[in-house]
Structure 1
Amino acid sequence: MTPCTEHGIDLKSVAKAAGEGDRDAIAAVLTAIQPRVIRYCRARIGSRPGYASADDVAQDVLTGVFTALPSYRDTGRSFLAFVFGIAAHKVVDFHRKQQRDLSTAVTDVPERADADSGPEQALLDAELRHMVRELLGTLPDTQQEILVHRVIGEMSSEKTAELLSSTPGAVRVAQHRALDKLRRRLTGQQ
């Protein structure tokens, strides 16, 4: 079995060195996991407004990983399972806080207009994100996690299976069933 690599590095061995205080290893680990953590948080949280909240949670995840590195022990699972365990807890904490916080978020007025899209496109994009989130919410949690990791996180079935303590075949079957269920809902066949 080959070691789990990310950006050409063996994350388990680099994480071990990072846990022992190697500054270069710490930087390598955080650099390697940052894009996946951001995609995961954005997929699980969405935009409220923009990606500020999801990016804030991603930053909390990276801080949590940095803080937990000295206590990381190789238990046979991938280092990414350790990272996404922290991420899942931070996302749950964010949602709990959102339920308690009844204030309305107000974005700052941008200094200049976005030349790429106007208000109409921004509204359509927000509506599409809301519809996708609502549609995903109709699936069981495991199927949601699989779609987030496989489709949005662009993870292989092997890595997703490792994160979810499953098999690659079971992940592919669950993904197929989830996508089929979403397709039937969208076409009204249920």
Structure 2
Amino acid sequence: MITPGDPQGPALSPDDIDDLARRARDGDRDALEDLLGAIRPRVLNICRGVLPYSSDAEDACQEAMLNVATKIDSWGGRGRFTTWLHVVAVNSARSTYRRLKNLATPIDTDVFGHDRPDPRTTSVIAGTRLDLLEAMETIERDHPQFVDPLLLRDVYGLPYDEIAELVDVPLGTVKAQIHHGRKLVRPLLRGDA
């Protein structure tokens, strides 16, 4: 059995991770355990890239790992497993952010007399990832097709061709979605909206 989580052992190559993922997807329980051990540090780093607090990132990582374990059969195997993993981890981090945001905002504004906070003024530090998450939430309401390509390109730096393969749209469409997404996000990050 491979011990990918062992800090003394060598890191697995992308090909090794793809092989583990294929075997895990095909029902090999040992391969799934090895895969989860190998990818956990990567998933945690992705979640930390979105959520500024370690405990929140840990929660998102746990959710992402559960999603990988239960939904690995949705990975088509056409592209790198790690590219699919990025989307799973980012979505888990965004889901955790939404859940925490909803818990922190009073729902009974009539009873408590609270207004919803302005996300541009309530971020921990102006210009943080929280501002970006708020902007993504805003554009997702009217233009959901721009969110994942924009996050995958501008936050995680994935190449356009990998994004196109991952979201299953032509390369030119992905480039256009990212371009239009940037146009929508800029005023939100500046506070113009």
Q: Same fold (TM over 0.5)?
A: yes
> 1:132 maps to what in 2?
132
> 1:182 maps to what in 2?
185
Please tell me the residue identity of whatever aligns with 2:125: A
Q: Which moved more, 1:157-166 or 1:95-104?
A: 95-104
**Cα deviations across residues 48-85 of structure 1 (Å, max 9, x unaligned)?**
xx23213211122113323555xx37645444576467
**Cα deviations across residues 66-124 of structure 1 (Å, max 9, x unaligned)?**
3555xx376454445764675477457646644664599xxxxxxxxxxxxxxxxxx98
1:173 to 172, 176, 179: 176
Report the Cα distance in structure 1 between the residues aligned to 2:67 and 2:191, rounded to whole angstroms. Answer: 43
Report the Cα distance in structure 2 between the residues aligned to 1:73 and 1:155, rounded to whole angstroms. Answer: 20
Question: How many matched pairs?
Answer: 160
Query: How far off is 1:126 after superposition?
Result: 2.4
Query: How far off is 1:175 after superposition?
Result: 0.8
Please tell me the residue identity of whatever aligns with 2:146: Q
Percent sequence identity over aligned pairs: 19
| 2:13 corresponds to 1:13 | no
**Structure 2 CA distance for partners of 1:150 and 1:38, relative to 1, 3 Å:** farther
Please tell me the residue identity of whatever aligns with 2:15: I
Q: Which has the higher helix share?
A: 2
**Cα deviations across residues 13-53 of structure 1 (Å, max 9, x unaligned)?**
32122341345x74356524742x33554466x33xx2321
Please tell me the residue identity of whatever aligns with 2:136: L
The alignment's C-alpha RMSD in Å is: 4.1
Q: Which runs of 5+ in 1 are unaligned?
A: 1-5, 105-122
Q: So what's the TM-score if we normalise by structure 2?
A: 0.58
Please tell me the residue identity of whatever aligns with 1:147: L
SS of residue in 2 equivalent to 1:127:
coil
**Structure 2 CA distance for partners of 1:20 and 1:150, relative to 1, 3 Å:** same
Within 5 Å, give how 1:37-56 maps onto structure 2.
37-38=43-44, 40-42=46-48, 46-47=51-52, 50-56=53-59
Check whether the contact 2:149–2:177 (CA below 8 A) recurs between aligned residues: yes
Within 5 Å, give how 1:40-189 maps onto structure 2.
40-42=46-48, 46-47=51-52, 50-69=53-72, 72=73, 75=76, 77-78=78-79, 79-80=81-82, 83=85, 86-87=88-89, 90=92, 94=96, 97-98=99-100, 101=103, 126-129=125-128, 130-139=130-139, 140-183=143-186
SS of residue in 2 equivalent to 1:144:
helix
Query: How far off is 1:163 after superposition?
Result: 2.2
